[in-house]
Structure 1
Amino acid sequence: MSEEEEMGWRCVNDLVYQSNAKDRNAAYTRLASVYDIHMENVGAVANENLVKVAFEFVKNDESSLMLDVAAGTGKTAKYFKDSGYVGQTDGIDVNAEMLDIAIRTGLYRKTYSQEIVDHSPLPVPDNTYDVAAVVGAFLENHLRTGCIPYIVRALKPGGLMIFNCRITEHNKEYLGKLMGIIDSLIDDSKMELVKKKEICFSRSNSKEDGKPIKGWAFVYRKL
């Protein structure tokens, strides 16, 4: 493993394995200016691979409106733009330093610097968005699984919730809780699965098992 990869994985581990949300947010603040460099060094492809899976289902005209949930530095918006997306995008992220980098890309119509919680709605009107994208944020001490119904509320009927999740031992219990909430929404006829596909999260070998990190890409439709 190269020195750059080693530094990249130290950055990833510093963010992923924090024991609480406060320390996680402090780590993002500390690493915001070098975050994209480190992600490139570990071969991170979670954003672009989710876009590849979901793009064919996304409403793509000038009236389309997307909410980039946990927007980070704006990579998801960039890959959508590079894929030919012509609609508008709003972004929300708890970390002001990361969001400031996203704002400077010029890809966002509006941004919200606010924590996404599991006990109150997002700071956006209900039934507003054609797409809600969540990339790399569904893991322990990041987004709480209980925020999913509020993300769905922000979607128009027929709108898509697209997201990915890491397939790792560390994320196994969290992913089970996440899918339990989604299954309940499906049982209540509030969502339906459009597509599920295994994707690569990072090409570099992780320190958890010495292999590239895999993940699931999901596309769900609000009913």
Structure 2
Amino acid sequence: MREREPMGKDKRFLDKAYSVKTDAQTRSFYDQWAEVYDEEVAENAYQQPRRCAQALAGLTAPSETTILDVGCGSGLSGIALDVAGFQTIDGCDFSPGMLAKAGKTNVYRRLFETNLNEPPMDAPDGRYDAAACVGVFSFGHVKAEALDDILRVLKPAGALVIGLNDHFYEEGSLTTRLELLESEGLMEILDREHGEHMPGTGLKGWVITARKH
């Protein structure tokens, strides 16, 4: 079998991810990135899918948990959830190209398209035992207010894990929203763990776990 050639510089997208500003730009960008996304993040040793899956497994009984992989992308987070023992995984994303890639992983029960910045998503209230948001919240991508709809689709006492990089954590809108929802009695922040995000880029990040009230 012929070895796969490494990506040329013209096919790299990671350093351009913050350049998108509108929803239309975001969808187009990720549709184009879908083909080489897994390869590019693997080159940079992306750690958040594994970290988030392990954190969530510590809060639930994975084999009995129905989970929504929010912003599932190409399915790397779903694969990590599957490895951690989760057996009933649904996924949603804004990019049809990414959803097509995720479908090839064969770990999802259902995949559906959604714009998290324009709720509600296509899921009823209280459908899921848990939700994972791995690399979803970022500049020009999903806004912190999307947390409200994610909580809506969780059952009471449902678990939530969020993985994000240092840059967006320090920007503050997500942590402010989390703390507001906690102050309103809608959820409880359980832990914030700092660690590896994408070592190949030198970037660290956070895994935040929470539980709906």
User: Does TM, scored on the shorter chain, surpass 0.5?
Assistant: yes
Which of these residues, 176, 187, 192, is aligned with residue 188 of structure 2?
A: 192
Letter of the aligned partner of 2:152 in structure 1?
R
| Contact 2:187 2:210 (8 Å CA) reproduced | yes
**Deviation (angstroms), 1:54:** 2.6
1:219: which partner in 2? 209
Instruction: Say which SS state the counterpart of residue 116 (structure 1) adopts.
Output: coil
| CA spacing shift, 1:114–1:39, aligned 2, 3 Å | same
CA shift digits 1:109-147 (9 cap, x unpaired): 1111121125x3221000110111000011111111111
Q: How does 1:146-157 map to 2 (within 5 A)?
A: 146-157=145-156
1:8 and 1:81 map into 2 onto residues whose CA distance is 33
Q: What does 1:1-223 align with in structure 2 at a 5 Å threshold?
A: 7=9, 10-62=12-64, 64-85=65-86, 87-118=87-118, 120-168=119-167, 172-173=170-171, 176-204=172-200, 206=201, 212-223=202-213
**Mean CA deviation greater in 193-202 or 149-158:** 193-202
Q: CA RMSD in A?
A: 2.2
Q: Unmatched 5+ residue regions in structure 2?
A: 1-5
User: Are the equivalent residues in 1 in contact too, given 2:131–2:161 (CA < 8 A)?
Assistant: yes
Q: Helix, strand or coil for the counterpart of 1:107?
A: coil
Report Cα offsets for 1:7-54 as digits up to 9, x if no partner: 499421222332333222211111211110011111211111222233
Q: Which runs of 5+ in 1 are unaligned?
A: 207-211
CA distance, structure 2, for counterparts of residue 45 and residue 65 of structure 1 = 23
| Aligned residue-pair number | 209
Q: Which AA in structure 2 matches 1:182?
A: L
**In structure 2, the residue corresponding to 1:92 is in which secondary structure?**
strand
Q: For the Cα contact (< 8 Å) 2:128–2:154, is it kept in 1?
A: yes
**SS of equivalent residue, structure 2 residue 126:** coil
